[in-house]
Each structure stands twice: as C-alpha cells, then as structure tokens.
Amino acid sequence: MTARAFFCASLLISLCAPPIAHAGNLVRQESSAQESGKQEAWQQEFDAVCSKTTDAMSLSIDELKSLIQRCDTLEPKIEKLDDTRRKVYLRRLKQCRGLYAYVLESKNNDKK
Amino acid sequence: MHRRSWLVAVFLFLSLMPVSAQTGGKKRRALPYEFGRVTISTYSERASMSPVVFDHWFHRSMFSCRVCHVDVGFAMKPGASNIKAADNAKGYFCGACHNGRMISEGRTVFAACSKTAKEEDVARCDRCHSSGKPVVMEHDFNQFAKSMPRERFGNGIDWQRAEELGLIHPSDFVPGLSIKRKNLRVENDFSLNAKVAGMPDIIFSHRKHTAWNGCELCHPEIFVGVKKGATKYSMATIFEGNSCGACHTTVAFPLTDCQRCHMKAVQP
C-alpha cells in the first residue's frame, strides 16, 4: 500500500513538474514570446512548415516544392504582423524557405 | 601668403592624423575573454543608454548557435537584427530568455528591457548596457575557463571537446520560440582541396557543424552554391568574413589555427 502511494505520488510529481528543455537546463516558467496562449493560425502553419528543416534532405522534390509554396503563402501574413514579430518571423521564414529551395536545387542538379 | 598655406597644411595634417591612426596599423588581437564580444549600439545611444556589451563566450556555453541565430532570430552580424527595447520587452530577441521568469541553472534569468523602467532598475539595465561603465560581470571568464579544455587561439577554450566531455550542454530549444523537430540526419564529411602546394587538404565535418548550427543557418545564407566546387572560396574572402569566415573570424576558433581545418595528411 505504501509503495503504491509512493508510486502514485511520484507519478503526480513528474506529471506536474514544468517541462525541461531538450538538451540544456532551461526551464519554462511560462511562455515568454507567446503570452497570448493560443497559437494563431499563421503561427501553426509556420511551425508546421519550418519544422521539417532537419529532414530536408530526405524530402522528395514534390514535398520540397509544396513547402516552398506554403512559405510563399505565409509571407504576406507575416508581413502584416507588428514590427517585432515581423522582424523575427520573416528572417526565420527566409531561412527555412531558403533551405528548402537550396535542397530542391541540389536534387534537381543530381537528376541532370 | 606663403605662411598662410603652411598653416593650412599643418592644420590639415593634424586634423587627418587621428583618421589615419584609426584605419591603419595592425589590429590588436582580442584577449581570450574579449573574443567574440559584440558591442551593440543600434538604438541605445539615441535613448541616452550605453551600448550593450554582449559576451558571446558565456551564451555559447549554454546555447547552440542555431537556437539563437535561427529560433530567436539574431542576425549573424552585429546590429543587423535592428533590436529595439520594445522587442525585448515583448519577449523576443534578448527578452526570449531574459524575461525575469526563465530559470537557468537553478536561477531566474534577469529581465531585459521593460516598458516602465524605474530608477531602481538602473543596476539591472547596466548589466547589458555596460559599455564604458565599470560594471563587474557576474560570470567570470577566467574562472569558467579554468575547468575547460584548452585551445591555442580565440577564447582559448576547445568548445567542441568541452561538449564531448560533458562540461557544457548547449541547449537547442527555447520555450515559446523553438519548434519541436525530428533529430537531424547528419550528412557525410567531405574533403576540399587546398590551393597552396604542400598545404594539407581541408576535411569539412558536417557532424561538427550541424550539431550546433542545423542546416538553415549556413545554407543558403552563408554557403550559397549547391554544387560542390561551383563556388570558389579563397583565404582572402574568408578573412573578409565570407563563407567559413562568417564564424571563424569572429566567434569560432580563428583562421590562424590552420590545422584545425587543413588536417588531411599530404600524400607523399
């Protein structure tokens, strides 16, 4: 019984503890940059599109073209944001679009 | 008339002297604790604040290059991010971590700029806006460097070895800004021919570079060409801060450490 209670308490503590960042020792107290809580639609799309940079090399030509297209659709939406978010996210979008275009060009060269 | 022109010549000589002194001469090599230091004065002085002195060594000991230069959005060149106090106050750029809530190594990270700074906040402002002020830094470089593997140039610290030994754990995630992504597939290392006879070829390690930089920090902003050999690199352009020089003249081990790159044994 005591062991069971101990197990339950440990489980509760681990579930309630603040999430720890991946590799380092940063602990999230509360979301800093996105204090509004719920993610806006453009942000969801941004995260979805730019989360594939780590496996860009394994994406097909069609997948890369589609991601570039989605980046281009996203750009005018980010242009309309306030000055701060525009600065941060336009740079980030440029970097992830640039990488997809770079890999696409590389794959097209390999085909020739 | 002759005397007047002589006086004009002396005046011109004296007035131009400081300029030639600034542009000419040998550049002083940065001391280990200064290497990578960035002074940012985009808007500070206009707001009657001292420029920000950013110690790169301290931040790189805790974060990957990618997380700051991709996720947080810091440009690779000082001043190019166009950071304003309002950006920090909203939780972006420095304010992404310096928000008075983030906890690092068991301590709360002090807040960067706030919209309503009061007189009692001056000491906190001075922690970053410290150029020209006798501010004692909380983190002592020499103390930190004592326990780190040594390197001949730059900071005098072998950062790569420090990570391998588990002495530093650079985080690749900032809550609120970073995106959860799959682990990076590492591309193969490759060699590049040295252009000078007798100079060992370069072994470029994708593994070493992608671990801290990801892909999008270097491609295509720093390394434009897709096809191997299509873009011509030279030591002259690298010393000017292009390609490898984007990091290896400023923050990573400097170009004077030749054999860190030119490491392939010369074939007899």
User: In three state form, how does the secondary structure of chain B look?
Assistant: CHHHHHHHHHHHHHHHHHHHHHHCCCCCCCCCCCCCCEEECCCCHHHCCCCEEECHHHHHCCECHHHHHHHCCCCCCCCCCCCCHHHHHCCCHHHHCCCCCCEECCEECCCCCCCCCCHHHHHHHHHHCCCCCCCCCCCCHHHHHHCCCECCCCCCECHHHHHHCCCCCCECCCCCCCCCCCCCCCCCCEEECCCCCCCCCEEECHHHHHHHHCCCCCCCCCCCCCCCCCCCCCHHHHHCCCCCHHHHCCCCCCCCCHHHCCCCCCCC
Whether residue B213 contacts residue B66, with contact meaning beta carbons closer than 8 Å, is answered with yes
- Give chain A's residues under pLDDT 70: 1-37
Query: Is this model's pTM higher than 0.90 or not?
Result: no
pLDDT at B21: 45
What per-residue confidence (pLDDT) applies to A111? Answer: 78
**Distance in Å, alpha carbon of B19 to nearest chain A alpha carbon:** 35
| Chosen from A31, A32, A100, A106 to mutate, greatest number of chain B CBs within 10 A | A32
State both tokens at B6: 């002589």
In this prediction, residues B162-176 reach a mean pLDDT of 94
> Which of B157, B201, B163 shows the shortest CA–CA distance to B56?
B157
User: Which residues 43-72 of A have a C-beta within 8 angstroms of B?
Assistant: 47, 50-58
pLDDT band at B265 (very low <50, low <70, confident <90, very high): confident
Residue A110: predicted pLDDT: 83
Band the pLDDT of B161: cuts 50, 70, 90. very high
pLDDT at B7: 63
B94-104 per-position pLDDT tens digit: 999 999 999 98
Q: Tell me what percent of the residues of chain B surpass a pLDDT of 70.
A: 89
Task: Compare CB distances from A51 to B172, B180, B226 and report the shortest one's residue.
Answer: B180
If you measure CA to CA, which chain A residue comes closest to B211?
A54
A20 CB within 8 Å of a chain B CB: no
pLDDT of residue B136: 87
Minimal C-alpha gap between B219 and chain A (Å): 6
Are the C-beta atoms of B214 and B207 separated by less than 8 Å?
no
CB proximity A109 to B under 8 Å? yes
Query: How would you classify the pairing of strands B202-204 and B190-192?
Result: antiparallel
Q: What chain B residue is nearest to A92 in terms of C-alpha separation?
A: B70
